[in-house]
Amino acid sequence: MPDIKCTVSSCHYYRSKNGQEVCTAKGIEVNNMVERPAKTTDETVCKTFIPDVKA
């Protein structure tokens, strides 16, 4: 899987790699938060997020 940029440092899958902030999950799930097709990023949510116990 290609590197996926992620700036959520409180997530278990977040890593800083070669100066880039990336998601290290094997796959990701992003869903709509609204009952129609999303029009902005604010209308989506990353369901892969797991809180990092170290954060």
Please report whether residue 54 resides in a domain.
no
In a domain, 55, yes or no: no
Q: Give domain status of residue 25, yes or no.
A: yes
Number of domains in the chain: 1
Q: What is the pLDDT of residue 55?
A: 54
**Nearest to residue 24, comparing CAs of 48, 53, 54?**
48
- Asked if residue 41 is part of any domain, the answer here is yes
pLDDT score for 18: 85
> Which range of residues forms the domain containing residue 32?
4-46
Q: Are 47 and 30 in contact (CB under 8 A)?
A: yes
Taking the C-alpha atoms of residue 1 and residue 7, their distance in angstroms, rounded to an integer, is 18
* pLDDT tens for each residue of 1-53: 678 999 999 999 999 978 899 999 999 999 999 999 999 999 999 999 999 98
Rounded Cα distance between 22 and 19, Å, is 10
